[in-house]
Structure 1
Amino acid sequence: MAKLSVNINKIATLRNSRGGNNPDLIKVALDCERFGAEGITVHPRPDERHIRYQDVFDLKSVISTELNIEGNCREQKFIDLVLANAPAQVTLVPDSEGQITSNHGWDTVTHQTYLKEMVSLFQGAGIRVSIFVDPVRDMIEAAQQTGTDRIELYTEAYAAGYKGDKVKAIAPYIQAAHTANKLGLGINAGHDLDLENLKYFASSIPNLLEVSIGHALISDAIYLGLENTIQLYTRQLSV
């Protein structure tokens, strides 16, 4: 069964919109764990429009499940933040400055030398590394050459195509998973996975280890309640 890591960026966005500490990000993270999440994901950005750098320190000191820090390793402040907190996992995402949300994976062929350096740096600090990639064989093979522990499959294309033709939408991800499995890479996934499309994805991807879900889960929680929502998501992973 793949693990559910809850991305709490949207909680931080809500908090920051009014200042103060309501909702309390730390309490929400602890409640997510209590309700069944097996990890907490944060994606700090330079403008701190949602997760603040101090949030990461505060979370690391209290959560008992895995902390996954996503972000752009081209930013020295991000590198320093990860090394200072030594999370269970760092996910390297090729965001550009001011980007609203992640929208593509790494070109692991073009940037292979750089990614090797980053993977070595973080692994040297005892941190598991995952590289955000599109479901493309060449990108996965080149990711393996960096020495990364895992890849995270960028699933926006799957989510966009699911309602029209889910078999067609999942096909490149199944092929990507087979490639990753042959190469000995762990498989994570994330972006636009939700209660409608998650179960089919999880049941189709061999050896899926973890999904990171934020926007859809927090949106569902507005109507369904956070505890109920987390349990509904974890049930979709029981395949």
Structure 2
Amino acid sequence: MTLLSRILILSVAVSGGAHAEKELPNFAFGLGYGLLDQKSLMNIDFKVNIPINEYFSTQVLLNSNYLITGSSKDSFAQSELSLNWFIRNDYGRLGVGLGVSELEPMDENLETKKEAIGQFIGEVFLGAFSATANYLTTDKTLSNITSSRIGLSYYLDEDLRTSLYREKYNDAEMGWRLETYYQPQKYRQMGSIGVIARTGEDYDYAGVVFEYYFDYAVSLRQREKQFH
């Protein structure tokens, strides 16, 4: 993962000096575990949101996935590192991103694969609802954070969201994704838990995600409206 680490450090260094005076950078760390077609899948995600001004922001996103099958021949680690740029207001957000995807088999005899990736993101905020469209150029993604999808979210309250997406997993493989996230106010709104279920011919998945935020006293709805 040396290449991805270098790009992450460079991206933060380039963008770090450009944040707005009133909005500070927002950091989030996520850890997930679930079963993908009866195989263990672990996710480790790190996200840095850097506001530039009232209408523009950047984001560094590093997603790591570990598929553990019990055999080194089909077990692998996949990482996606991207730098995204957004134009935003109170009613929505448009974003584009560039990055690299790295697929590293656990079998040392197999070759590590790398490819450039592009990402296009659109969101519209409609009261308690939000509509999302996301397109990722890579053919294969296992992450809980990034994938090609279109869907609708509903906020039952400021710290409870449920979402339904039509999602692309691998090549032409399509399926449905249902997720619910809850952010307790008890701990100064510094963390959330998500429950995710996905269906697909070879990509049935059920799991949980824990996210920790390096800020506090921000509702889940406001957090996701400000940051993707």
- Shared topology, TM-score over 0.5? no
Structure having the larger proportion of residues in strand:
2
What's the TM-score, normalizing by structure 2?
A: 0.31
Structure having the larger proportion of residues in helix:
1
| Structure with higher RCO (Cα < 8 A, 6+ apart) | 1
